[in-house]
A = this chain, B = another copy of it.
Amino acid sequence: MENLEKPRGGRPRAFDPGRALDAAMHLFWEHGYEATSLAMLREAMGLTPPQIYNAFTDKETLFRKALARYHETEIGFALEAMSAPVSTREAIRRLLLGAAVAYSRPGKPGGCLFVSGALAASPQAQAIADELKAYRKASEAAIAERLAKGQAMGDLPEGVSVEGFAKYIAGVMNGMSIQARDGASVEELRILAQTALAALPDEGQKQGA
């Protein structure tokens, strides 16, 4: 992968790159890529511009590293839900309820960085918008994969379209992200998730939240 910490001499860093990246991630999460200025990043990261550029190359690279960190630290619920040894319906339930929690964590920006990061962008930032779109597409593909696995295991009726349903689930999660950004509480998002679950075929009865 990458050369992790190999200084062959030279002045040591006076800051923690991990903490700095976290601060940048939260700022991008809150304001999006383009609306987050270097001045804001400077203050939130507690660094001078040369420190930022020496450690993270440029703003675009910093944002991509923030995306990767977000993917690793903030949305583990998704991978867990998709890989847990449970029924397909239960997997989707965990996915949506996990999103309800992750999108409305106190002290964190509402919604999902992959949605808020750059839904609309200037022509110069088109590459960033495309990168986020790729993340969203990958999420949808992961859902489709889980649904297909469910069909293969006889867990999900053969009649339903895996791609269509994955697009629905991914769409609901994106919608939850916006609702969270508009101030929806965990409970409200949970109710939304439960409602969305009712569209699933093979309707077993559900229990209280």
- Give the contacts of A65-109 with B (CB-CB under 8 A): none
**With the chains together, A170 CA to B182 CA distance in Å?**
12
Contacts of A115 in B (CB 8 A): 119, 178
Contacts of A179 in B (CB 8 A): 167, 170-171, 174
Contact assessment for B175 and A32 in the assembled complex, using a CB-CB cutoff below 8 Å: no
For this chain, the copies found in one complex come to: 2
Interface residues of A in 29-55 (CB under 8 A from B): 30-32, 34-37, 40
Q: For A40, list chain B residues within 8 Å (CB).
A: 122
A149 at the interface (CB under 8 A from B): no
Which listed residue, B34, B174, B181, B195, touches A165 by the CB 8 Å rule?
A: B195
Judged by DSSP, the binding face of A is helix
Residue A137 at the B interface, CB < 8 A? yes
Interface bin, chain A: 35 or more
- Chain B residues, CB < 8 A from A120: 30-32, 35, 116-119
Q: Which of A31, A34, A137, A175 has the most CB of B within 10 A?
A: A175
Choose, from A6-14, A15-23, A184-192, the stretch at the interface: A184-192
Whether, in the assembled complex, A159 has its beta carbon less than 8 Å from a beta carbon of chain B, the answer is no
CB < 8 Å: which of B125, B174, B188, B199 contacts A199? B199
Chain B residues with CB below 8 A from A64, complex form: none
Report Cα–Cα, A168/B133, bound state, in Å.
23
**In the complex the two chains form, what is the Cα distance from A207 to B16 in whole Å?**
60
Contact call A168/B196, Cβ cutoff below 8 A: yes
- Given A115-B119, A119-B115, A121-B35, verify A192-B174 contact (CB < 8 Å): no
Q: Decide if A173 is an interface residue (CB 8 Å cutoff).
A: yes
B161 with A191: CB separation less than 8 A: yes
- When distances are taken between beta carbons in the complex, the residues of chain B under 8 Å from A147 are none
A24 interfacial contact with B, CB 8 Å: no
